[in-house]
A and B are shown apart, each in its own frame.
Chain A
Amino acid sequence: MKYLNIIYKGVVSDNPTFVLLLGMCPTLGTTGSALTGMSMGLATMGVLICSNVVISAIKNYVPGGVRIPAYIVVIASFVTVLQMLMKAYLPTLDAMLGIFIPLIVVNCILLGRAEAFAGKNNVLASLCDGIGIGLGFTIALTLLGSVREILGTGKIFGEAIYPEQFGSLVFVLAPGAFIALGFMIALFNNIRSRKKC
């Protein structure tokens, strides 16, 4: 139960995008469409799970003074592995996400979770935290990507809902990302405060 609760917390009450407001750069940069948002969420989730597990496993052997550099080396290694695998086996997805894959290294969700959770908890709990936070991030990015894609181009996951010329271009561009994100944070927190979770 305890572990399920950690996953639930990551998705709802500690949602990285809507509650913790971490990792805003990829959140705004890769949510031009639902598909890119979801891919970015999944990529980050994969790295987060691996880095959380490894950091939690090595935390007792790393001296406090070099804690941060050690964590960054771990995170950067997993990101580089992910990038090589994507370049080799999913080149179209890699081209779509571009610079945002290497930028996962400096995504504050990863270092934030390493510091706040994995560095203090056991391996299994850190694994669950990685799954929960990663899932919360993926869901948030997919939702934001869907909203922007529908309002901007009239499509969702590339499927047309209404003709493209009625879409409002601003939602595909950066200002629309801020506007859509702001409204979604408000909506999410409104629902959360009513349910008191």
Chain B
Amino acid sequence: MKKDSLAGMVMSLGVITVIAGALLGIVNYYTADAIENAAQQAKVDALALILPEFDNAPIAEAKDIAVEGDTLLLYPATREGIPVGCAVECIAHDGFSGDISLMFGFTADGTVCGYKVLSHSETPGLGAKMDEWFRDMTGRRSVIGITPGKSDVRVFKDGGEIDGITAATITSRAFLGALNHCYKAYESYYTNK
């Protein structure tokens, strides 16, 4: 069989793809569990960061909560059987560029005790500062320790009580809108219980 014939080309390309496929299969077999664990671990770390101390498995007990035509994922946290708070995951579609995926932690009485920006594509140096800005205790920037039901969680410009990110009002609005949205999930979860 000549190397440059059609059969030769099909053969050689076929052999290469089969070997490549086998290699990928083997690597996938050995890394699949580790990848799954890493993704799970990232979520566990995020929850530990934004929730009060808990001893249950919030991911296994996660619940879907319907809020205004949207379904949010809520992770309840309990300690020795007593509810200590919950985390709510939410995607804001009204950011400056693309979706912002956020997770907020609430204590049992509805106070924001932490948040985490899971993914975003906001402008670096402006909107991207939200990961630090809203936990910065300077002035009225921070949302930590605020109860959305009791305070007006909007930027100053809209008549609210939070100092939004300088030069990134759209991102700030999206962020605080998501917080209010998540708070509604918290409310409906705790009133239905």
Contacts and interface: CB of A to CB of B under 8 A. Distances in A.
Contacts of A172: 124-125
Given A64-B4, A66-B13, A69-B13, A84 B20 contact: no
Interface stretch (A74-82, A113-121, A122-130, A184-192): A74-82
Contacts of A89: 34, 38
Interface string B1-16: 0011000110011001
10 contacts: A63-B3, A63-B9, A66-B13, A74-B20, A80-B27, A81-B24, A89-B38, A167-B125, A172-B125, A173-B123
B13 A70 contact: yes
Contacts of B31: 84-85, 87-88
A169 B35 contact: no
- If over half of A's interface residues share one DSSP class (helix, strand or loop), that class is named, otherwise mixed; here it is helix
Interface in A45-84: 58, 61-66, 69-70, 73-74, 76-77, 80-81, 84
A171 to B, nearest CB: 9
B82 interface: no
Contacts of B4: 63-65
Contact of B35 (A65, A80, A84): A84
The DSSP consensus for interface residues of chain B is helix
Given A84-B31, A88-B35, A32 B20 contact: no
B60 interface: no
B126 interface: yes
Nearest to B33: A88
B28 interface: yes
Contacts of A182: none
Residues of A in contact with B, size category: 20 to 34
B56 interface: no
Contact of A80 (B17, B24, B38, B42): B24
A65 B125 contact: no
B57 interface: no
Nearest to A170: B125
B137 interface: no
Given A61-B3, A64-B4, A91-B39, 15 more contacts: A62-B16, A63-B3, A63-B12, A66-B13, A70-B12, A73-B13, A73-B16, A74-B20, A85-B31, A87-B38, A88-B35, A88-B38, A89-B38, A169-B126, A173-B123
Contacts of A65: 4, 9
B20 A73 contact: yes
B147 to A, nearest CB: 32
